[in-house]
């Protein structure tokens, strides 16, 4: 196996020492930062995530901080989701698009105050787009990347582990809300959110210096809960239909194609960049859309788009796929043309190992 060359461009995280001590076996690079992909094996990590509790170094979910009198106006310019009802203490999953309606990112917006927001970004350089908008529209907002690193606690036992470190009050945090909790004299935002369907929290660790102390405190408190180091799990996130920007959708896709139309209220998202383009696609409806797809037989890792064929006509592509132990099939995410997107449609997927039978599913598995 080849290694990745360490360099300043491939940033370590405040938790990297802990990740290495826990025996990380694979990394990807996300927002120019290390993101673990496997600890024991993807399948062992998967079973453990679904039954126990894991601590995830998701520091690569970098924050774009907006600060200043125009912060709320800027935020609404960045997304077609209507933010008028959003209160401090809430998180929203928000598609972000360019002037053509093409997806630029699918971050979590964190509203700290009317004039202070974090955009918890997926893997694209959103900061550059935001700075461009601020400059172009002469907005009174400061935009930068603060020293804030999310640490995930995911799995069915996450409430118990979190309560031991932050107190029983964490149990009261509602889905996609956050509260402020003390750790070693520092007040940290703790949200009920995360890139799994197993339940859990994300701690927005402000100040790299408390990264390892918090990591160690969670492992110390969770010894008898069988806590392990973990990471976003490929199999579990496909089962759950959690999309991966750059894989399942890109700038070539609208939010409606990505199945994120439910997070767009373009009509009322006044001032949003790309509004006119999205009003058109919302009216006409997408001609291709994300679907859950099952694939028969053995498949290799999906590191490029696999054509989805109906006979010799290309009708879509598979962009994520993995063997699922719990569903005893290969679970996959693909983009499928309207003519072939109905549940039950049988297609052929051209993998690098040859053609495989595929079936469009009515919904994701979790």
- Interface residues with ligand THG (CB under 6 A)? 61, 93, 106-108, 120-122, 150, 176, 193-195, 202, 242-243
Q: Which is nearer to ligand THG, 201 or 347 (CB)?
A: 201
Distance of CA 302 to the CA centre of its chain: 18
Nearest to residue 366, comparing CAs of 49, 25, 8? Answer: 49
The least CB distance from residue 121 to ligand THG, in Å, is: 6
Query: Toward ligand THG, which CB reaches closer, 334 or 345?
Result: 334
Considering beta carbons, is residue 289 or 345 the nearer one to ligand THG?
A: 289
Residue 355's alpha-carbon distances to 51, 121, 299, 307, 345, in angstroms, are: 35, 35, 10, 10, 16
C-beta of 64 vs 322, nearer to ligand THG: 64
Alpha carbon distance 292, 333 (integer Å): 5
Instruction: Give 82 or 202: the residue with its C-beta nearer to ligand THG.
Output: 202
User: What number of residues does the chain have?
Assistant: 366
Q: Which residues of 112-126 are buried (b: 16+ CB within 10 A; e: fewer)?
A: beeebbbbbbbbbeb
Least distance (Å) between residue 233 CB and ligand THG:
13
Residues paired with 168 in a beta bridge? none
Closer residue to ligand THG (CB): 158 or 193: 193
CA distances from 306 to 171, 215, 296, 314, 347 (A): 42, 39, 14, 10, 12
State the minimum distance, in angstroms, from the CB of residue 105 to ligand THG: 8
- Min dist. Cβ of residue 167 to ligand THG (A): 22
Q: Which of 4, 296, 14 is nearest to 151 (CA)?
A: 14
Q: Shortest Cβ distance from residue 150 to ligand THG (Å)?
A: 5
Least distance between ligand THG and beta carbon 312 (Å): 35
Phi, psi (deg, nearest 5) at residue 183 = -140, 120
């Amino acid at each position: 196996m080849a290694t990745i060359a360490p360099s300043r461009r491939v940033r370590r995280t405040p938790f990297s020492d802990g990740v290495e001590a826990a025996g990380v076996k694979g990394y990807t690079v996300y927002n120019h930062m290390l993101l673990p992909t496997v600890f024991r094996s993807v399948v062992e990590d998967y079973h453990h995530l679904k039954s126990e509790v894991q601590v995830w170094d998701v520091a690569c979910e970098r924050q774009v901080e907006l600060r200043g009198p125009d912060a709320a106006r800027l935020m609404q310019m960045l997304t077609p989701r209507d933010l008028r009802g959003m209160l401090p203490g809430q998180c929203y999953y928000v598609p972000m698009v360019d002037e053509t309606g093409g997806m630029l990112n699918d971050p979590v917006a964190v509203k700290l105050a009317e004039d202070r927001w974090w955009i918890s970004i997926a893997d694209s350089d959103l900061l550059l787009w935001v700075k461009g908008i601020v400059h172009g529209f002469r907005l009174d907002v400061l935009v930068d990347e603060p020293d804030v690193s999310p640490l995930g606690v995911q799995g069915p036992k996450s409430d118990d582990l979190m309560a031991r470190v932050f107190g029983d009050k964490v149990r009261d945090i509602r889905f996609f809300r956050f509260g402020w909790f003390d750790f070693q004299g520092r007040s940290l935002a703790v949200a009920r959110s995360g890139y799994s369907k197993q339940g859990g929290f994300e701690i927005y660790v402000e100040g790299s210096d408390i990264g390892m102390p918090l990591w160690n405190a969670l492992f110390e408190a969770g010894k008898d809960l069988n806590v392990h180091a973990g990471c976003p799990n490929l199999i579990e996130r496909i089962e759950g239909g959690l999309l991966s920007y750059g894989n399942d959708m890109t700038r070539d896709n609208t939010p409606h194609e990505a199945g994120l139309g439910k997070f767009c209220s373009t009509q009322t998202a006044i001032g949003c960049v790309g509004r006119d383009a999205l009003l058109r696609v919302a009216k006409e409806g997408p001609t291709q859309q994300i679907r859950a797809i099952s694939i028969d037989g053995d498949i290799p890792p999906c590191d490029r788009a696999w054509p989805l064929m109906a006979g010799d006509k290309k009708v879509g592509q598979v962009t994520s796929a993995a063997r699922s132990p719990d569903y005893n099939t290969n679970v996959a995410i693909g983009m499928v043309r309207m003519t072939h997107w109905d549940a039950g449609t049988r297609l052929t997927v051209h993998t690098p190992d040859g053609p495989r039978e595929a079936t469009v599913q009515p919904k994701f598995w979790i």
